[in-house]
Amino acid sequence: MNSVDALLRRLEQLNAIGADLSKERDLASLLEKILVAAKSITHADGGTFYRTTDDGAALRVEILHNDSLNIAMGGPHGKPIVFPDLPLKNSDGQANDALVAAYCAIHNQTVNIADAYDTVNFDFSGTRQFDTRTGYRSQSFLAVPMKDHDGCVIGVLQLINAINPETGEVQAFSLPDQSLAESLASQAAIAITNRNLMLQMETLFESFISLINVAIDEKSPYTAGHCDRVPALTMMLAEAANAIQTGPMQSFSMDARDVYELKIAGLLHDCGKVTTPVHVVDKQTKLQTLFDRIELIDTRFEVLKRDQEIATLKAQLALREVKDAQAEASLEDGLKIQVQELDTQRSFLRNANRGAEFMSPDDIQRVKDIATMHQWVAPDGAIAAFLSDEELENLTIRAGTLTAKERDIINYHIVATIKMLDQLPWPRHLKNVPEYAGGHHERMDGKGYPKGLRREQMSVQARIMGIADIFEALTARDRPYKKGMTLSETMHIMYKFKLNGHIDPDLFDVFLSEKVYLRYAEQYLEPWQIDEVNPALWQAVRQ
């Protein structure tokens, strides 16, 4: 092959390398590809990729390869780097021009050395020590600066020992070699800069998401951490489902972009909670708004008891002239019975206000009876029922502490989430974020909200988030209305949800068989919550 054909072939190789570099998203892999490509296109035996440190004061060895010595350090596949940073200035503040890579970076200039042992312009004492120790002969050097779009040096590509393809002997790097290396360095610098800009934008975007989540968590101490725990569990289950090679989930797979998309959706799944009133989120008792209004009812009972005492005293005074001790004692006994009944009713209402247990129909009727049993003089002097309609509605909540209207307010957060996310101009690789984040309250049987979607209408990712959200809520220890459940209690409930069409059965099987629940528990639950999960007991209960 003549020199022209060889050069054309190397140019084609350079173009192919440039196209390959533009597709690489992982920065470590990108740097490794750059070094491998530079070695290949110049027939170099070894090479080192340096990057400038964040403060611009030194060069850091990112990747080092040497074919003859079988050395591969740094990058996604090599051994850890053990070399110190290369300072660009000496201790006296002067430019560190004695070292080839440093000189290249400082002066933004390519350095091409035919034989390191014959040059006096640079300090190769460290290289000679390396050669003595390894038996290697470091001869030709080519150091090329890498500049970003602003002309700033972001790294140095240093190649060692150009190999003659025909004879296998070490030779100097030719001018075509240098030109090709400089062209590759230019393309590589663009690829690195673009990737860095993407990473900076992603970091900034995730920081804004964290800002929203901090605002949500700061609104209520009872949901603090939920916005972090659900995404973590989501990614654990997604990773397990992606690794499954058999069964219904074997066709499910995610690449790096899919994983990032789901991560963002997980972080944003409850962003709509910024619109939810704090007093609803934090409602610990049925009568709580800005404060627990059971104390107002307590006061009414005290007034009722006072009124009974006053009425008794008046009756006793009326008996003073006849001095009927038996009648007075009868009044006293009647007062005690009335006060005792009022205390019993007050205790009952206080217990009902907690919302910790299911209200039976008899309990609900008793609240209604108490509401109309006594009369109450309102501040304007009007006679009113002992409990207002709003108080009666709250105290007769069958389970929990929220009225139907308040549940609608809580549930609206997912509608707000979808509205908020639909407003954003999502790039193509994140276009599914609104669907993933907005579907975690849907059910497989179509009875969920806000859209009433069925399983076949939902993505696997949204179904994954649904399981993560429910499991986190059941095990969370920071809710105002309950304590966190144990693993065995939670997984039994989740199993029932699988059977009744609430959650995806195939994903629950992965959640169970791959012990995703245990991995999560070991990181986020208290030791007392981590007990044995025995699916055999569920089958027995079912039968």
Same domain, 528 and 470: yes
What CATH number is given to the structural domain containing 37? 3.30.450.40
Same domain, 462 and 386: no
In Å, how far are 7, 12, 31 from 41, measured between CA atoms? 10, 10, 16
In whole angstroms, give the CA distance from residue 197 to residue 50.
19
Q: For residue 401, what is the DSSP state? A: S
In whole angstroms, give the CA distance from residue 481 to residue 470.
16
Residue of 201, 215, 354 whose CA lies nearest to 284? 354
What CATH number is given to the structural domain containing 449? 1.10.3210.10
Report if residue 285 sits inside a domain: no
Q: What is the pTM of this model?
A: 0.62
User: What is the number of other CB atoms lying within 10 angstroms of the CB of residue 118?
Assistant: 9
- CB neighbour list of residue 385: distance below 8 Å, 6 or more residues apart: 371, 372, 375, 376
In whole angstroms, give the CA distance from residue 286 to residue 132.
81
- Bridge partners (DSSP) of residue 142 are 112, 159
**Angle of helix 535-542 versus helix 487-499 axis, rounded to 10:** 50
Report if residue 227 sits inside a domain: yes
Total domain count for the chain? 3
Q: Is 93 exposed, middle or buried (0-12, 13-18, 19+ CB in 10 A)?
A: exposed
Asked if 38 and 29 count as a contact pair (C-beta separation under 8 A), the reply is no
Report if residue 205 sits inside a domain: no
User: What is the number of other CB atoms lying within 10 angstroms of the CB of residue 239?
Assistant: 15
Same domain, 11 and 154: yes
Report if residue 332 sits inside a domain: yes
- Bridge partners (DSSP) of residue 351 are none
In whole angstroms, give the CA distance from residue 342 to residue 338.
6
Same domain, 171 and 39: yes
Final residue of a domain: which of 401, 418, 452?
A: 401
Same domain, 509 and 450: yes
In whole angstroms, give the CA distance from residue 394 to residue 398.
9
Q: Where are the beta strands (DSSP E) in 177-301?
A: none
User: What is the number of other CB atoms lying within 10 angstroms of the CB of residue 158?
Assistant: 25
Same domain, 359 and 484: no
Collapsed DSSP state (helix, strand, coil) of residue 448: coil
Same domain, 72 and 95: yes
Question: What does the pLDDT profile of the chain (543 residues) look like in tens digits?
Answer: 455 555 556 656 655 565 566 665 677 777 788 888 889 889 999 999 999 998 889 999 999 999 999 999 998 888 888 889 999 999 888 999 999 999 999 999 999 999 999 988 899 999 999 999 999 999 999 999 988 878 889 899 999 999 998 899 999 999 988 988 888 888 878 878 877 788 888 888 888 888 877 777 777 665 667 778 999 999 999 999 999 999 999 999 999 889 999 999 998 888 777 766 666 556 566 666 655 666 677 677 777 777 777 778 777 776 666 567 777 778 778 878 888 888 888 888 888 887 766 788 898 898 888 888 877 666 566 777 778 788 888 888 787 777 777 776 666 677 888 888 888 888 888 999 999 998 888 999 999 888 999 999 999 999 999 999 999 989 987 555 557 789 999 999 999 999 999 999 999 999 999 999 999 999 999 999 999 999 988 875 554
Same domain, 191 and 79: yes
Q: What residues make up the domain containing 68? A: 3-198
| First-to-last C-alpha distance (Å) of the chain | 79
Same domain, 451 and 361: no
Same domain, 185 and 309: no
Final residue of a domain: which of 401, 419, 438?
A: 401
In whole angstroms, give the CA distance from residue 222 to residue 273.
13
